[in-house]
């Protein structure tokens, strides 16, 4: 799985990859057949823990997203080919999760509107997927995009950008499904959220960085006086820097230390990397050197 952390894992993906930071073994048919039950078990753990719903992540270049992308999925066994074939494993996951959590428990799915990679998942593929998802018991489709790929910026890594990224695709999707649609990415102001919903393109919006800046944002937006999050402006934009900064911002929130939080990107990155390294040591002590 490409998003596995290489120092402590032995990643697998739809097909073998051996480039730069992306190395993984191709999955056997038995590996694939084991996936639906793994997702179903994870969903049940979430349900038993009291969560009000689960989201199947089939976007952003994670495992299911790789199956959907012709760039990563070069299989020849029915889990490949047309969008129906590439979607097959996702369909099996949806069915298994639904069977496990029951009819009344909400299940969402996050998909890419495009991988933003040449040869990857296209908007036409994604529209085909929406048509298939429409025939399943999914309750919410979360539309996002992009892929963690060396050199490709994560959408959370954008320090600029003036508006939501995926509203026009959501608008197209809305025309071919009755399932509720949510868009993720680039919402910075209350007015942007209102406009997206009022236009009929989406039923709801999802917020990442805005909530990391102000965890009370949803409540604040109910009151027009409260205003929008103040997004920081950075002088530099090293790859991964903005995301590392937000990770450290979330850490400060968790440690009840947000008022003292004042890191620049470079410091956030080095603290973040050092923390990961320390976590690897801890992992190896507990689980052995894998
Ligand atoms: C600190 C941070 C961590 C993130 N981690 C993940 C992740 O693990 N997996 C993922 O698919 N997206 C991750 N994202 C991306 C978000 O899900 C979202 O797509 C992105 O932030 C765009 O939404 P926004 O403009 O509201 O921030 C992360 C974003 C941030 C800021």
Residue 207, ligand 1, Cβ within 6 A: yes
**Does the Cβ of 208 fall within 6 Å of ligand 1?**
yes
pLDDT of 221 > 70? The answer is yes
6-225 to CATH, choices 3.60.21.10, 3.30.300.90, 3.20.20.70, 3.30.465.10: 3.20.20.70
- Which stretches of the chain are assigned E, i.e. beta strand? 12-13, 17-19, 22-26, 54-58, 107-112, 140-144, 180-184, 204-206
Spans of all domains in the chain: 6-225, 232-290
Taking residue 102's Cβ as centre, other Cβ atoms within 10 Å add up to 9
Atom of ligand 1 nearest to the CA of 110: 11
Mutate to test the pocket of ligand 1, among 56, 147, 149, 208 (most ligand atoms within 8 A of CB): 208
**DSSP letter assigned to residue 210:** H
pLDDT of residue 2: 43
Hey, which of 1, 108, 156, 206 would you mutate to test ligand 1's pocket, going by the most ligand atoms within 8 Å of its Cβ? 156
Q: Which atom of ligand 1 is nearest to the CA of 184?
A: 23
Burial level of 123, CB count in 10 A (0-12/13-18/19+)?
Answer: middle
Is any atom of ligand 1 closer than 6 Å to the C-beta of 112? no
The residue among 57, 160, 163 whose CA lies nearest residue 112 is 57
Residue 142 — φ and ψ, nearest 5°?
-100, 115
Q: What's the pLDDT tens digit per position in 109-153?
A: 999 999 888 899 999 999 999 999 999 999 999 999 988 777 676
Given pLDDT bands bounded at 50, 70 and 90, which one contains residue 79? very high
The pLDDT of 88-103, averaged and rounded, is: 98
Q: Sheet holding 180-184: strands in order across?
A: 54-58, 107-112, 140-144, 180-184, 204-206
Of all residues in the chain, the percent with pLDDT exceeding 70 is: 94
Residue 232 confidence (pLDDT):
93
pLDDT value of residue 290: 54
Distance (angstroms) between ligand 1 centre and the Cα of 210 equals 11
User: What integer best gives the mean pLDDT of the chain?
Assistant: 92
Residues facing residue 109 across a β-bridge: 56, 141
**Count of beta carbons in the 10 Å neighbourhood of residue 155:** 19
The protein residue whose alpha carbon is closest to atom 15 in ligand 1 is: 156
Please work out whether the CB of residue 148 comes within 6 Å of at least one atom of ligand 1: no
Whether ligand 1 lies within 6 angstroms of the CB of 60 is answered as: yes
What is the Cα gyration radius of the chain?
Answer: 20
Residue of the nearest CA to atom 20 in ligand 1?
156
Cβ-based neighbour number of residue 236 at 10 Å = 10
* pLDDT band at 1; cut points 50, 70, 90: very low
Query: pLDDT tens for residues 48-77?
Result: 999 999 999 999 999 999 999 999 999 999
Distance of alpha carbon 6 from alpha carbon 1, whole angstroms: 10
Q: Which of 62, 5, 7, 9 is nearest to 35 (CA)?
A: 62
Taking the centre of ligand 1 as the mean of its atom positions, its distance from the CA of residue 57, in whole angstroms, is 12
> 238: pLDDT confidence band, cut at 50, 70 and 90?
confident
């Amino acid at each position: 799985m490409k998003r596995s952390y290489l120092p402590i894992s032995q990643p697998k993906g739809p097909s073998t990859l051996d480039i730069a930071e992306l190395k993984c073994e191709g999955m056997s048919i038995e590996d694939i057949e084991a996936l639906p039950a793994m997702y179903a078990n994870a969903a049940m753990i979430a349900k038993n823990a009291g969560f009000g719903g689960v989201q199947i992540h089939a976007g952003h270049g994670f495992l299911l997203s790789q199956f959907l992308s012709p760039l990563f999925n070069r299989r020849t066994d029915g889990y490949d080919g047309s969008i129906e074939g590439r979607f097959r494993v996702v369909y099996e996951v949806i069915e298994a999760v639904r069977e496990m959590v029951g009819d009344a428990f909400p299940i969402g799915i996050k998909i890419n509107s495009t991988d933003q990679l040449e040869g990857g998942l296209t908007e036409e593929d994604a529209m085909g997927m929406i048509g298939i998802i429409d025939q399943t018991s999914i309750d919410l489709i979360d539309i996002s995009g992009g892929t963690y790929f060396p050199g490709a910026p994560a959408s959370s890594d954008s320090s600029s950008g003036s508006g939501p990224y995926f509203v026009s695709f959501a608008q197209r999707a809305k025309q071919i499904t009755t399932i509720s649609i949510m868009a993720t990415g680039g919402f910075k102001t209350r007015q942007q959220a209102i406009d997206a919903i009022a236009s009929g393109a989406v039923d709801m919006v999802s917020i990442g960085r805005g909530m990391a800046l102000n965890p009370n944002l949803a409540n604040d937006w109910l009151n027009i006086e409260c205003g929008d999050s103040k997004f920081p402006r950075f002088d530099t934009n090293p790859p991964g820097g903005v995301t590392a900064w937000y990770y450290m911002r979330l850490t400060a929130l968790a440690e009840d230390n947000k008022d003292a939080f004042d890191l620049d990107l470079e410091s956030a990155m080095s603290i973040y990397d050092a923390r990961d390294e320390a976590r690897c040591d801890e992992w190896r002590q507990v689980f052995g050197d894998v």
